[in-house]
């Protein structure tokens, strides 16, 4: 078992020291021990957990989602884990659809704007000022 300080743990997990502290404050991670001097010490389990958190964050899971995934990791069935991943995937797909809609709207406005002239004639400003746009 490793006996890592916070800096060593952060480096091996590929995160900043402040990130480790942030996860500790949010009760996602805790040191395995503390020295009499108050220094935190971490083992392999904490390194594994920190890497799990980092990877889950990279996939778009919130801290609350990650807390749930960590609690599910102790169960025998992976059905709930799959459900959580499916829900996250549906959320991501919905956000992509929204971003595509926004992109298409902005693309249309940018194409319609000549980029010169008076502000009163700007199709972008006129579109944003229109009252009938939802």
Summarize pLDDT for 73-86 with one digit per residue, the tens. Answer: 776 778 888 888 89
Say if residues 39 and 79 touch (Cβ distance below 8 Å).
Answer: no
DSSP calls for 3-26 = -B-HHHHHHHHTS-HHHHHHHHHT
Alpha helical stretches, state H, 1-134: 6-13, 17-25, 44-58, 63-72, 79-112, 123-129
Whether the pLDDT of residue 2 is over 90: the answer is: no
Summarize pLDDT for 4-23 with one digit per residue, the tens. Answer: 999 999 999 999 999 999 99
Q: Is the pTM of this model over 0.85?
A: no
Per mean pLDDT, which range of 31-40, 47-56, 61-70, 107-116 is the poorest?
31-40
Say if residues 54 and 13 touch (Cβ distance below 8 Å).
Answer: yes
Whether the pLDDT of residue 133 is over 80: the answer is: no
């Amino acid at each position: 078992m490793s006996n890592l300080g916070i800096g060593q743990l952060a480096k091996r997990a590929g995160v900043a020291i402040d990130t480790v502290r942030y996860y500790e404050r949010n009760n996602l991670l805790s040191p395995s021990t503390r020295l009499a001097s108050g220094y935190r010490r971490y083992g392999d389990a904490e390194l594994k957990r920190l890497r799990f958190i980092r990877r889950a964050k990279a996939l778009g899971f919130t801290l609350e989602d990650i807390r749930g995934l960590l609690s599910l990791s102790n169960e025998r069935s992976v059905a709930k884990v799959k459900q959580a991943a499916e829900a996250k995937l549906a959320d991501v797909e919905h956000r992509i659809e929204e971003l595509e809609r926004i992109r298409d709207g902005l693309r249309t406005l940018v194409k319609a704007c000549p980029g010169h002239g008076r502000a009163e004639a700007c199709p972008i400003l006129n579109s944003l000022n229109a009252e009938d746009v939802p």
